[in-house]
């Protein structure tokens, strides 16, 4: 029998939220709507968190991160970029940086490989760029070493390759929000890392 995941101690984080708005348990209807949005894959720790600590709208944490209540989360994933562009590929927006980049639960990461032989055993947290994943039929950016203007189709592989790992899972995200330890990943760094990996792959093929 699987051991139910427990939420970390969150008093400091809840105090931050309560300074801005009223914290309340989510209704059954709200939780059902969120689970439907996640395709039934919402992490149990996220269900537990919002069951106890939902709120309306947006709460700014430490001046640089916007944490979403369920109603705002639904809007961010269905009517805003990058949310509605990346949700079809398993990335559920739960918060964002003030510049617009989304902080997402990767609903489909369990069992996927990474690095040299690694394999994810959690639904990891990723950062999705509002500049890369905007309206359009392709992901486009410029990298001279990759031939100049790069045009990529929207696939899970491409979206994940350009959405850097932030932290281990939703519980770790809550702890880093609580402790002010979440770190922004600059788009330049993301594209440099993508370029490095593509050049390595090309060299291995040759």
CATH topology of domain 11-131+164-183: SMI1/KNR4-like (3.40.1580)
The pLDDT of residue 117 is 83
CB contact at 8 A, 160 and 127: no
- Residues 6 or more apart whose CB falls under 8 angstroms from that of 183 comprise 166
Question: Using omega within 30 degrees of 0 as the cis cutoff, is the peptide bond preceding 82 cis?
Answer: yes
pLDDT digits (tens, 9 = 90+) for 124-182: 999 999 999 998 899 999 999 999 999 999 999 999 999 999 999 999 999 999 999 99
The bridge status of strand 65-68 relative to strand 91-97 is antiparallel
What is the rounded average pLDDT for all residues in the chain? 95
Q: Which residue has the higher pLDDT, 11 or 206?
A: 11
CB contact at 8 A, 178 and 13: yes
* Pairwise CA distance, residues 200 & 144, whole Å: 15
Question: Considering only CA atoms, which of 37, 151, 131, 172 is closest in space to residue 91?
Answer: 37
Taking the domains of the chain in order of start, what are their residue ranges? 11-131+164-183
pLDDT digits (tens, 9 = 90+) for 88-127: 999 999 999 999 999 999 999 999 998 878 999 999 999 9
* pTM confidence score: 0.95
């Amino acid at each position: 029998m699987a051991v139910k995941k427990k939420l970390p101690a969150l008093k400091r984080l809840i105090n931050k939220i309560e300074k801005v708005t009223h914290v309340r348990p989510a209704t059954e209807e709200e939780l059902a709507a969120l689970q439907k949005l996640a395709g039934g894959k919402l992490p149990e720790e996220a269900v537990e968190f919002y069951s106890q600590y939902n709120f309306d709208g947006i709460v700014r944490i430490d001046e640089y991160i916007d944490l979403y209540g369920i109603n705002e989360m639904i809007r961010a994933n269905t009517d805003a970029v990058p949310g509605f562009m990346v949700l079809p590929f398993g990335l559920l927006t739960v918060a964002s940086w003030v510049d617009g980049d989304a902080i997402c639960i990767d609903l489909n990461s369990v069992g996927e490989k990474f690095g040299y032989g690694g394999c994810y055993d959690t639904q990891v947290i990723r950062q999705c760029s509002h500049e890369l994943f905007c309206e359009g039929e392709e992901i486009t950016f410029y990298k001279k070493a990759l031939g100049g203007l790069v045009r990529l189709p929207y696939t899970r592989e491409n979206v994940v390759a350009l959405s850097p790992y932030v932290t281990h899972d939703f519980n770790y995200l809550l702890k880093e929000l609580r402790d002010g330890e979440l770190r922004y990943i600059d788009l330049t760094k993301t594209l440099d890392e993508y370029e490095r990996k593509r050049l390595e792959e090309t060299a291995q093929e040759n």
